[in-house]
Amino acid sequence: MVEGEGDGSPLFETEVAEGIGRIWYKLHALSVFVGICGIWAYRALHIPNAEEEQEQGQGRWWAWIGLFGAELWFGLYWVLKQAVRWNPTYRRTFKARLSQRYRNNLPGVDIFVCTADLTIEPPIMVINTVLSVLAYDYPKDKLSVYLSDDGGSELTFYALLEASHFARTWIPFCQKFNVETRSPAAYFKESHTSQKDVTEAVEWIATKNLYKEMENRINQVTRFGRLSNDIRKQHKGFCEWNVPSTSCDHHAIVEILIDGRDENATDNEGVVLPTLVYMAREKRPEHHHNFKAGAMNSLLRVSSEISNGAVILNMDCDMYSNNSETIKDALCFFMDEDKGHEFAYVQLPQRFNNITKNDIYANCLRTEYEVEFHGLDGFGGPLYVGSGCFHRRESLCGKKYESNKAEMKYNKRNTRADASTLEEKAKSLITCTFEDNTEWGKEVGLKYGFPVEDVITGLSIQCRGWKSIYFNPPRVGFLGVAPVTLAQTLVQHKRWSEGNFQIFLSKYNPLLYGHKKIKLGLQLGYNIYFLWAPCSFPTIYYAIIPSFALLHAISLFPSVHSIWFAPFAYVIGVTTIHSLWESKKVGYTLKGWWNERRMWLFKRLASYPFAATDAFLKLLDVKKLAFIVTAKVADEEVSKRYEKEVMEFGSASLMFIILSAHAVFCLLCLLGGVKKLVLDGTGEMSSMLVQLTVTGAITLINMPIYQAMFLRVDGGCMPISVTIISVGLAMLACIIGTK
């Protein structure tokens, strides 16, 4: 036995960042905090009095108080952000020890893939995700994959049936040639025969042809919109669609496409296959289905009947597994003899395979995944953010944490009931009324009532005493599809920020609900995300008032010659440098950093305000919960512009009117202000420097908007109606208040 590999050695290792770098970081943070206090002091000590107001214009007092409020907010929010930067924690697993120690005692793993909409989540994409997890490097008799289809479509069922056939070739192929990328579409895109020897190349070509043929069949059927009679004869499951049904009105369907207990269900090399199940829960217009949370809870019940794996992996249909070892990684945490029993879930970062070089819409959330989540891990574990999360079934089903060390076991499968009996039993668990008068959606399973079902579920699991793990493997674990237009990103962020803020406003507010249950650092950490939406108000204020005052040559900041200038310069300068440094460290380009800054502003101007409003309306019970599924396909023109990192507008929307009206407004303020200062000689340059900088920076960041309004002519440019309305609005705003 290798030294250190014995029974007692841990299955994972934790490293907390320390050393001189940390000390510098903390000193820097302290100094910035002093600067922030300086800004607060300046505001508090210089509140304009009535006399001054006479001199400098009516609204100055209001402007001042508003800025004070905004600066208080930003300062406190900055403090929250330090919490997750204080103790970054990193994890490493020892998979060889796991395999050696638990060779025959590994637990069953159930993988849940969710899909909801046939048109924006094409079946070929869905089954690529399914194939990537079917091919996991894990004992196949312990692996079960479930597809939940909220679209309830026979086309998706057909695609899954095709996948179940192709899996027989794909799984052994991956094993034999050590394929790392186990989504066939992604694999055949990145790999070429030229890198292979003859035998491999032959099999490579054969497998690729098989895949391409399947892809063609599926895409043809999808385009056509229905199945031929020949196809419908291929499997008894198609009978389920004999009665007319729609995505929101149909009975429960459960079809076991591959029964892992069946000795004849083997791949081309004669090895047993993983279990594969199609599920569409019953849907009726008069019953609320609770979106993804409802689907996940149905999956929990159906899987408990069929395979009852002790570990559950949650996947979105667009996010394939890119690393065939992540199940083992997750198990290194769950099965560690010393600490394992404490962990409820292991979240991996969500990465995307369609991010452009400079990540124009700041979709990859690198700061969150590379910096902040490591910080959260130091305080008891990260948020559960959906796709790419491994759960202990017990904790997801509502169990409280108990400190006794119980080993995670392999649950024996029900071998008596045959597949069709299991299917019938499973169907009875996913009817519309099954959950009535039960704890499902409340204390059991994923929680209902929030558009970010995962985050609230994770929080309540942590509040039941469990810890969670953030694991960021060297080879990316999961790769999904990020939105490719500005509108999609803004809408996606509206859902997230609204859901998060809704939690903040509810009884689940981490400061109350988590009090004495989770660490303070984690409570603060949660609030970074929960307060996204209200961050919009101080930002809007700060993005308008200083510029407006500049236009009127009213100074709202200290003059360069004043000692009070120092804290402003220091805080603005150092936080900018720090964010540059941080984003460089996590792999952003300079332009990527700039794009991230832009999206920071755009989200706060045009997405979060809607989220905050809707969250309040929901609190008052005037608005119903909605879940807009993010689009995963785009037409060719749009994709081309995305590849070239040209910002996409194209359609008229209120979000765009806000953005462009604000952009024009700032430009007018900048021009007007400079004219006043330079040509008319009103006001002092030295006391306007901060406002000039702020307005100038906003104008620079808005460059793509001006281009889209006045220079571009392609399909993604700003619609002329939006341009007219926003220029009108901006001019109106500039005129108001001008005497």
Ligand X SMILES: O=c1ccn([C@@H]2O[C@H](COP(=O)(O)OP(=O)(O)O[C@H]3O[C@H](CO)[C@@H](O)[C@H](O)[C@H]3O)[C@@H](O)[C@H]2O)c(=O)[nH]1
Decide if 150 is catalytic: yes
245 burial (CB, 10 Å; 0-12 / 13-18 / 19+) is middle
The answer to whether 110 is annotated as binding is no
The C-alpha atoms of residue 221 and residue 368 are separated, in whole angstroms, by 40
Q: Is 295 in the site for ligand X (CB under 6 A)?
A: yes
Interacting positions 453-472 with ligand X (CB under 6 A):
454
**Shortest Cβ 193–ligand X spacing (Å):** 33
Nearest alpha-carbon partner for 327 in 408, 412, 390, 260: 390
Nearest alpha-carbon partner for 346 in 377, 370, 321: 377
Q: Which of 117, 377, 454, 614 is catalytic?
A: 454
Q: Which residues, listed in sequence order, are joined to residue 389 by a DSSP beta bridge?
A: 314, 347
The answer to whether 52 is annotated as binding is no
The answer to whether 213 is annotated as binding is no
**Shortest Cβ 620–ligand X spacing (Å):** 22
**Shortest Cβ 481–Mn ion spacing (Å):** 7
Q: Which of 150, 318, 329, 336 is catalytic?
A: 150
The C-alpha atoms of residue 185 and residue 467 are separated, in whole angstroms, by 36
Nearer to Mn ion, 74 or 478 (CB): 478
Stretch of residues binding Mn ion (CB under 5 A), selected from 158-166, 236-244, 324-332, 622-630: 622-630
The answer to whether 180 is annotated as binding is no
Q: How far from 35 is each of 309, 555, 577, 578, CA to CA, in Å?
A: 53, 20, 15, 14
Nearest alpha-carbon partner for 564 in 17, 135, 44: 44
Nearer to Mn ion, 316 or 614 (CB): 316
Interacting positions 582-601 with ligand X (CB under 6 A):
none
Q: Is the dihedral of CA 296, 300, 305, 309 positive or negative?
A: positive
Determine the size of the site formed for ligand X (CB under 6 A). Answer: 23
Stretch of residues binding ligand X (CB under 6 A), selected from 273-281, 300-308, 491-499, 696-704: 491-499
User: What would the 3-class secondary structure string for 326-392 be?
Assistant: HHHHHHHHHCCCCCHHHEEEEECCCEECCCCCCCCCCCCCHHHHHHHHHHHHCCCCCCCCCCCEEEE
**Shortest Cβ 115–ligand X spacing (Å):** 5
Stretch of residues binding Mn ion (CB under 5 A), selected from 256-264, 455-463, 483-491, 629-637: 629-637
Nearest alpha-carbon partner for 334 in 409, 274, 444: 409
The listed partner (Mn ion, ligand X, none) that binds 330, CB under 5 to 8 Å by sort, is none
Which one among 145, 179, 306, 452 touches ligand X, defined by CB under 6 A? 452
Binding-site string for ligand X from residue 98 to residue 127, where x marks contact by CB under 6 A and - marks none: ----------------xxx----x------
Q: Which two tokens stand for residue 279?
A: 């599920």
Which one among 71, 150, 368, 377 touches ligand X, defined by CB under 6 A? 150
The C-alpha atoms of residue 311 and residue 3 are separated, in whole angstroms, by 30
Q: Is 627 in the site for ligand X (CB under 6 A)?
A: yes
Which one among 317, 360, 408, 484 touches ligand X, defined by CB under 6 A? 317
**Shortest Cβ 302–Mn ion spacing (Å):** 23
Stretch of residues binding Mn ion (CB under 5 A), selected from 49-57, 493-501, 533-541, 628-636: 628-636
Which one among 250, 283, 391, 495 touches ligand X, defined by CB under 6 A? 495
Contact predicate 550/669, CB 8 Å: yes
**Shortest Cβ 630–Mn ion spacing (Å):** 5
Nearest alpha-carbon partner for 446 in 307, 618, 291, 334: 291
Q: Is 156 in the site for ligand X (CB under 6 A)?
A: no
The C-alpha atoms of residue 277 and residue 255 are separated, in whole angstroms, by 6
3-state SS class at 78: helix
Which one among 132, 387, 497, 500 touches ligand X, defined by CB under 6 A? 387
- The count of other CB atoms within 10 Å of the CB of residue 493 is 25
**Shortest Cβ 150–ligand X spacing (Å):** 4
**Shortest Cβ 627–Mn ion spacing (Å):** 12
Which one among 386, 477, 514, 719 touches ligand X, defined by CB under 6 A? 386
β-pairing, 478-480 vs 351-352, is parallel
Q: Is 629 in the site for ligand X (CB under 6 A)?
A: yes
Nearer to ligand X, 91 or 283 (CB): 283
Q: Which two tokens stand for residue 705?
A: 């908007």
Nearer to ligand X, 451 or 683 (CB): 451
Q: Is 350 in the site for ligand X (CB under 6 A)?
A: yes
Nearer to ligand X, 616 or 627 (CB): 627
Contact predicate 117/246, CB 8 Å: no
The C-alpha atoms of residue 553 and residue 692 are separated, in whole angstroms, by 10
The C-alpha atoms of residue 278 and residue 161 are separated, in whole angstroms, by 9
Decide if 267 is catalytic: no
Nearer to ligand X, 318 or 342 (CB): 318
189 burial (CB, 10 Å; 0-12 / 13-18 / 19+) is exposed
The listed partner (ligand X, Mn ion, none) that binds 627, CB under 5 to 8 Å by sort, is ligand X
Q: Which residues, listed in sequence order, are joined to residue 313 by a DSSP beta bridge?
A: 111, 390
The separation between the first and the last C-alpha atoms of the chain, rounded to the nearest angstrom, is: 87
Interacting positions 294-323 with Mn ion (CB under 5 A):
316
The residue of the chain with the least Cβ separation from ligand X equals 386
Distance from chain centroid for Cα 529: 12
Q: Which two tokens stand for residue 567?
A: 């804290």
Determine the size of the site formed for Mn ion (CB under 5 A). Answer: 2
Q: Which residues bind ligand X (CB under 6 A)?
A: 114-116, 121, 148, 150, 291-292, 295, 316-317, 350, 386-387, 451-452, 454, 492, 495-496, 627, 629-630
Catalytic residues: 150, 454
Binding-site members for Mn(2+) are 292, 316
Binding-site members for UDP-alpha-D-glucose are 121, 150
Q: Which residues bind Mn ion (CB under 5 A)?
A: 316, 630
